[in-house]
Structure 1
Amino acid sequence: MQNALIGQRVLVTQAGDFMGPVLCEVFAEQGAEVIASTDALAEPDAARRVVDGAGRIDVLVANLAFEAPSTPALDVGEPEWREVFAALVDPLPRLVGAAAPAMVARRSGKVLVIGSASALRGIKRASTYSAARGAQLAYVQAVGVELAPHNVQVNAIAQNFVDNPTYFPPQVQANPRFQERLAREVPLGRLVSAREDAMFAAYLCSRAADCFVGQVFPVCGGWVAR
């Protein structure tokens, strides 16, 4: 895939976290003009400020990250629940609400949510995080079919075991127990590289992917829900 995003203005949120750095790098290589926002988005007005500040955009990449709590489900309190949802769920409709009307008016645009496959499989001590990531995917599926008739494509990547500094930093990857887990749970036997994931994201944001709407694409190195 070469120059798939020439002429496209792409806004990437939380560009310093999660998949943000490699997404910005790969999208620029593919010809996009990348607006890399590092602003926090938990405040109600933050998403609109970021979108308005970016000017005209063809693609919104909602890259939202938050360190996953490991609280047993019965010990999860209101503060944890609200903090995780404020970081991962609440900004999403605000971002789409700010960016999508112009896309609908032009009958052209894409929204890609960089989500997590934690919503697709039960994981112990991850109820809050998994619920928030699941809400993201449900939102994408619903909004995707609403905006499709306007030629605006909304999709998501649901990833796990993808190399990134937020969830799999070097110290985690070097841990023998984590390496054993990779060998046991991931058929690929390794993490999906950040670049592999970003190239797939670039494809989904290109005109070649206009046929996909409201879809959730697992990127997990062969790891599957069970």
Structure 2
Amino acid sequence: MQNALVGQRVLITQSTAFMGPALCEVFSKQGATVIASPDDLADPDAPARVVAAAGPIDVLVANLAFTAPSTPALDVQDAEWRAVFAALVDPLPRLLRAAAPAMVARRSGKLLVIGSASALRGMKRTASYSAARGAQLAWVQAVGVELAPHNVQVNAIAQNFVDNPTYFPPEVQANPRFQERLAREVPLGRLVAAREDAQFAAYLCSPAAGCFVGQVFPVCGGWVGR
């Protein structure tokens, strides 16, 4: 895939976290004009402000990050629940309200949510985080079919065990216990490279991927469903 995004203006949110650095690099190499916004979007006014500052865009990549709490389910308090949803879920409808009307008006546009596969498999001590990531995917499925008749494609990547600085920093990857976990849980035997994931995201945001609507694509090294 070469120059798949030439002529496309792409806004990537939280560009310094999670998959942001890899997305910005790969999308730029694919010819996109990348508008990289490092802003946190938990503030209710932030999504509209970020979209307005970006100017006209063809693609919005909702890359939202939050350090996953490891609280046992019985100990999850309201403050934690609200904080996780404020960071990962609440920005989505705000981003949509800010960016989608112009896409609908011109009958062209894409929104890709970079989500997590934690919603696709039960994992201990991740109740609040998994619930928020699951809400992202449900939102994508619903909004995707609603906007499809307007030729606006909304999809998501649900990933885990993908190299990124937020969830798998170097010190985590160097830990022998984590290496044992990779060998035990991931048939691939390694993390998915950030570039591999970002290239798939670039494809989904390209004109070649106009047939996918409301879809959730797992990128997880092969463990979903096992």
* TM-score of the two chains, using structure 1 as the length reference: 0.99
Match status 1:6 vs 2:6: yes
CA RMSD across the alignment:
0.5
Percent identical residues = 84
| Secondary structure, counterpart of 2:44 in structure 1 | coil
Deviation readout 1:92-149 (Å, 9 max, x if unpaired): 1100111001000000000000000000000000000000000000000000000000
Q: How many angstroms apart in 1 are the aligned matches of 2:225 and 2:104?
A: 34
Q: Give the equivalent residue in structure 1 for 2:133.
A: 133
Q: How many angstroms apart in 2 are the aligned matches of 1:84 and 1:65?
A: 9
Question: What is the deviation of 1:225?
Answer: 2.8
Match status 1:168 vs 2:174: no
| Secondary structure, counterpart of 1:61 in structure 2 | strand
| Secondary structure, counterpart of 2:68 in structure 1 | coil
Q: Give the equivalent residue in structure 2 for 1:218.
A: 218
Superposition pairs of residues 184-195 of structure 1, within 5 angstroms: 184-195=184-195
Q: How many angstroms apart in 2 are the aligned matches of 1:40 and 1:191?
A: 26
Superposition pairs of residues 105-116 of structure 1, within 5 angstroms: 105-116=105-116
Q: Give the equivalent residue in structure 2 for 1:146.
A: 146
One-letter amino acid of the counterpart of residue 33, structure 1: T
One-letter amino acid of the counterpart of residue 184, structure 1: R
Q: How many angstroms apart in 2 are the aligned matches of 1:87 and 1:14?
A: 11
Superposition pairs of residues 28-177 of structure 1, within 5 angstroms: 28-177=28-177
Q: Give the equivalent residue in structure 1 for 2:24.
A: 24
Q: How many angstroms apart in 1 are the aligned matches of 2:223 and 2:171?
A: 22
One-letter amino acid of the counterpart of residue 55, structure 1: G
Q: How many angstroms apart in 1 are the aligned matches of 2:35 and 2:173?
A: 30
Q: How many angstroms apart in 2 are the aligned matches of 1:223 and 1:115?
A: 16
Where in structure 2 are there 5+ consecutive unaligned residues? none
Q: How many angstroms apart in 1 are the aligned matches of 2:169 and 2:45?
A: 31
Deviation readout 1:142-162 (Å, 9 max, x if unpaired): 000000000000000000000
Where in structure 1 are there 5+ consecutive unaligned residues? none
| Secondary structure, counterpart of 1:79 in structure 2 | helix
Q: How many angstroms apart in 2 are the aligned matches of 1:100 and 1:223?
A: 34
Between the two proteins, the alignment pairs up a number of residues equal to: 226
Match status 1:209 vs 2:189: no
Q: How many angstroms apart in 2 are the aligned matches of 1:160 and 1:143?
A: 23
| Secondary structure, counterpart of 1:158 in structure 2 | strand
| Secondary structure, counterpart of 1:49 in structure 2 | helix
Q: How many angstroms apart in 1 are the aligned matches of 2:40 and 2:211?
A: 32
| Secondary structure, counterpart of 2:183 in structure 1 | helix
